[in-house]
């Protein structure tokens, strides 16, 4: 959100400071000048804002797809661990089931964060992104703890 604000401010300053009121237009002769209207500056600023918003949307979608892919990979890995754990007996089975339960909780937390991300506006998504990243890191750690049991 802050980045978008800076982009908009930069574009407006760029248009206001560096865009002269009387700019020579291509195709004019001699000393003829054409006036750049405030409407043209507003149009250019709106186009810049629209491009920034589109870029933000693209970044959000790419991030969302990347996280969804990682979560699917973890789902498969968790299922593989469950299959291995089903062959264990006694205390070993109880210990790994505890670790798998924690892993399941971490996976659910990551999915919830992703759902929160999906429901946020494009401008607010970066605020949620750090929470998703944190949940994914916790899932990764829990997976490696469960996996270490089999090593």
Q: For 35-56, how does the pLDDT look when each residue is reduced to its tens digit (9 = 90+)?
A: 778 888 888 888 988 888 888 8
Give the least confident one: 87-91, 119-123, 139-143: 119-123
Residues with Cβ within 8 Å of residue 1, at least 6 apart in sequence? 123, 124, 126, 127
Mean pLDDT of 24-44: 66
Convert the pLDDT of each residue in 97-127 to its tens digit: 899 999 999 999 999 998 988 888 776 777 7
pLDDT at residue number 24: 43
């Amino acid at each position: 959100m802050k980045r978008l604000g800076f982009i908009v401010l930069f574009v407006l300053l760029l248009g206001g400071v560096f865009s002269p009121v009387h700019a020579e237009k291509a195709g004019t002769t001699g000393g003829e000048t054409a006036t750049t209207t405030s409407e043209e500056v507003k149009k250019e600023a709106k186009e810049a804002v629209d491009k920034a918003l589109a870029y933000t949307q693209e970044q959000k979608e790419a991030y969302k797809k990347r996280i969804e892919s990682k979560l699917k990979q973890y789902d498969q890995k968790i299922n593989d661990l469950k299959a291995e754990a089903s062959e264990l007996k006694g205390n070993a089975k109880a210990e790994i089931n505890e670790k798998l339960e924690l892993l399941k909780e971490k996976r659910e937390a990551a999915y919830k964060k992703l759902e929160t991300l999906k429901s946020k506006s494009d401008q607010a998504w970066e605020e949620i992104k750090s929470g998703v990243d944190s949940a994914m890191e916790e899932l990764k750690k829990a997976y490696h703890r469960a996996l270490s049991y089999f090593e």
